[in-house]
């Protein structure tokens, strides 16, 4: 049996485009004499559709699309993902389903058993879990069809509070009783740099444990904050990767089932920072393309965060579609301006220099009578950030550009940002990237030649909102800060657990206090491109008014 894996980039709710991609792949597979072609989870409607699943018209469009795809499946079979209606009297209205299509019609439907409700997932909100385990026989082969989480019932964990068995039932244990010849797993598994190997390990473990080949097809592309990295793979019954599709790109590959034990795929070595870089570029590009936006703007300060954001935007959208403003204040150093100019010229992007000194003076004069008995403080600093935000949003409105936010995760975590100022934007590019990783990104970008001026990388980080200001005046060194933040946010460690690892107690408690009391700020930030296992936004839901 010849099996094709189609790793495609879908657009949520764009049925015409999704169906076109799927049918084009089916026709290509026919030309390659393929018996079965496999697509990813909810491929017909795009993943995740969220509350669109609550609209009857949306589900009707899914049904029409599946039947249209089925009509193309003559002389070939296909597995596609889409919601299906639960026709029983009890339970949720829908299943998250895999449709087996052949002979021009729907032959069978397989429903997802394990519905994730952690981090960014909330599938039990919409779907009823499957309890009916079955296989399908096609061309003499017994096929078990699973959907994403169905193979993730067990996960390794070092967290004493977490269980490594997430669910009571194991779909593979049930399906193995039916003696399938191979397993299909259609998936929409988003990228996170600190879990990218976990997915592979789980699939290998399942193939070895049940002595059954697995054909795993993942989605690729980005939908708002979620980035899907693809990396679809075929694992033989020995637990070896027989072949694999590309990361962060659409791809297509045909495998002969009878030959998979003779194949031995060599995994290319990809550094974590390269994966993060590629993921962010893909995230920006898809956000703009799928929203029909073309041009971006941002404030270029001469600092490393805005420099990285500008480079990523150019690589995603092209230099002709990126315009920046340099917005120096009376506290901006001359080298910050020259560094920003050098970067803009290195990238070949349009830039203008607009001083905010006069506008800041006007605000201070206007507020003078109200503030006459008050000493200058963070209020005057925030005014400068908000003036910059107003000017950047004016460019965005006038020319139809999307403002890219340049704040990093370290700053967002501790509230080192100004609401309605430097926290403005239609998308946060670096909001899930710690400052220490921002520096790694800069070195990666400059690995072949100097794009970001070296002075931007080596100078002490500063918001330049008061004389001789440095980030270290208000925050611990980023090496310490990011280490504590990672353990508190990603690893969910308590203050005492972190302190017991040798960190200064006062520093740890101060950092955690800053994180907790700035939740209200993060609640108002733009969508953040997710590259870790615990990004701010949908994946981390903390009460705004909690005292804990």
Q: Taking a C-beta distance cutoff of 8 angstroms, is the pair 485, 515 a contact? A: yes
Place of tokens 């193309």: 72
Looking at residue 216, what is its pLDDT?
98
45 is annotated as an active-site residue: no
Which tokens go with 344? 């803009």
Containing structural domain, residue 111: 2-269
Q: Vertex 473, ends 471 and 476: CA angle to 5°?
A: 75
Q: What backbone phi and psi angles, to 5 degrees, belong to 227?
A: -115, 125
C-alpha dihedral (205, 211, 217, 218), degrees to nearest 10: -10
**Within this chain, do residues 237 and 327 fall inside the same structural domain, yes or no?**
no
Q: Using DSSP bridges, classify how beta strands 105-111 and 94-102 pair: parallel, antiparallel or unpaired.
A: antiparallel
For 345-378, how does the pLDDT look when each residue is reduced to its tens digit (9 = 90+)? 999 999 999 999 999 999 999 999 999 999 999 9
Which residue among the candidates 45, 62, 73, 148 is catalytic per the annotation? 148
**What is the pTM for the complete model shown?**
0.94
The counts of H helices and E strands in the chain are 16, 19
* Least confidently predicted of 252-256, 259-263, 313-317: 259-263
Domain count, the chain: 2
294 is annotated as an active-site residue: no
The DSSP secondary structure of 425-444, one letter per residue, reads -SEESSTTS-HHHHHHHHHH
Q: Is the pLDDT of residue 89 over 90?
A: no
Question: Domain ends where: 454, 472, 490?
Answer: 472
Q: Sign (positive/negative) of CA torsion 224, 461, 463, 341?
A: negative
CATH of the domain at 444: 3.40.50.620
Which residue among the candidates 21, 41, 62, 411 is catalytic per the annotation? 41
Question: Angle at which helices 56-71 and 15-31 pack, to 10 degrees?
Answer: 20
For a pLDDT cut of 70, what percent of the chain falls above it? Answer: 96
Tell me, yes or no, whether 461 lies in a domain.
yes
Tell me, yes or no, whether 483 lies in a domain.
no
Q: Give the pLDDT mean for 430-448.
A: 97
**Within this chain, do residues 423 and 362 fall inside the same structural domain, yes or no?**
yes
Which residue among the candidates 45, 73, 112, 123 is catalytic per the annotation? 112
For 469-525, how does the pLDDT look when each residue is reduced to its tens digit (9 = 90+)? 777 777 899 999 999 999 999 999 999 999 999 999 999 999 999 999 999 999 999
**Within this chain, do residues 245 and 294 fall inside the same structural domain, yes or no?**
no
163 is annotated as an active-site residue: no
CATH of the domain at 253: 3.60.110.10
């Amino acid at each position: 049996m010849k099996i094709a894996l189609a790793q495609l980039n879908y657009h949520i709710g764009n049925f015409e485009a999704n169906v076109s991609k799927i049918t084009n792949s089916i026709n290509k597979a026919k030309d390659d004499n393929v018996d079965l072609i496999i697509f990813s989870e909810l491929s017909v409607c795009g993943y995740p559709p969220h509350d669109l699943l609550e609209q009857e018209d949306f589900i009707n469009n899914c049904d029409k699309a599946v039947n249209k795809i089925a009509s193309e499946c003559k002389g070939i079979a296909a597995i596609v993902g889409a919601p299906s209606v639960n026709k029983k009297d009890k339970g949720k209205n829908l299943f998250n389903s895999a449709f087996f299509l052949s002979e021009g019609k729907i032959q069978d439907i397989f429903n997802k058993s394990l519905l994730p409700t952690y981090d960014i997932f909330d599938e039990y909100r919409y779907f009823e879990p499957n309890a009916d385990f079955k296989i399908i026989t096609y061309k003499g082969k017994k096929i078990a069809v699973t959907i994403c989480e169905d193979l993730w019932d067990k996960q390794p964990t070092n967290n004493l509070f977490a269980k490594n068995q997430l669910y009571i039932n194991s779909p593979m244990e049930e399906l193995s009783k039916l003696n399938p010849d191979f397993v299909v797993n259609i998936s929409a598994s988003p990228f996170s740099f600190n879990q990218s190997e976990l997915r592979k390990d789980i699939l290998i473990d399942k193939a070895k444990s049940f002595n059954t080949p697995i054909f795993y097809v993942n989605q690729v592309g980005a939908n708002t904050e979620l980035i899907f990295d693809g990396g679809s793979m075929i694992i033989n019954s020995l637990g070896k990767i027989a072949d694999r599709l590309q990361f962060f790109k659409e791809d297509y590959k045909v495998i002969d089932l009878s030959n998979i034990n003779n194949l031995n795929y060599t995994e290319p070595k990809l550094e974590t920072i390269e994966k993060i870089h590629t993921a962010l570029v893909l995230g920006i590009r898809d956000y703009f393309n799928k929203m029909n936006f073309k041009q971006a703007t941002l404030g270029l300060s001469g600092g490393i965060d805005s420099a990285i954001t500008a480079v990523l935007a150019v690589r995603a959208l092209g230099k002709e579609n990126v315009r920046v403003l340099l917005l120096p204040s009376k506290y901006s150093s001359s080298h910050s301006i020259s560094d920003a100019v050098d970067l803009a010229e290195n990238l070949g992007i349009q830039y203008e220099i607009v001083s905010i000194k006069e506008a800041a003076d006007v605000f201070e004069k206007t507020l003078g009578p109200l503030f006459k008995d008050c000493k200058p403080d963070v209020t005057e600093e925030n005014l400068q950030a908000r003036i910059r935000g107003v000017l950047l949003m004016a460019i965005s409105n006038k020319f139809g550009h999307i403002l890219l936010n340049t704040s990093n995760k370290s700053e967002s975590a501790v509230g080192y940002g100004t609401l309605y100022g430097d926290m403005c934007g239609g998308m946060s590019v670096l909001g899930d990237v710690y400052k220490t990783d921002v520096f790694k990104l800069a070195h990666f970008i400059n690995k072949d030649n100097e794009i970001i001026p070296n002075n931007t990388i080596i100078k002490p980080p500063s918001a330049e909102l008061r004389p001789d200001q440095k980030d270290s005046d208000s925050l611990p060194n980023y090496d310490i800060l990011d280490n504590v933040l990672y353990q508190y946010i990603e690893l969910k460690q308590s203050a005492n657990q972190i302190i017991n690892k040798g960190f200064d107690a006062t520093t740890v408690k101060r950092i955690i206090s800053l994180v907790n009391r700035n939740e209200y700020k993060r609640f108002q930030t733009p969508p953040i491109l997710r590259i870790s296992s615990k990004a701010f936004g949908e994946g981390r839901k903390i009460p705004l008014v909690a005292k804990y």
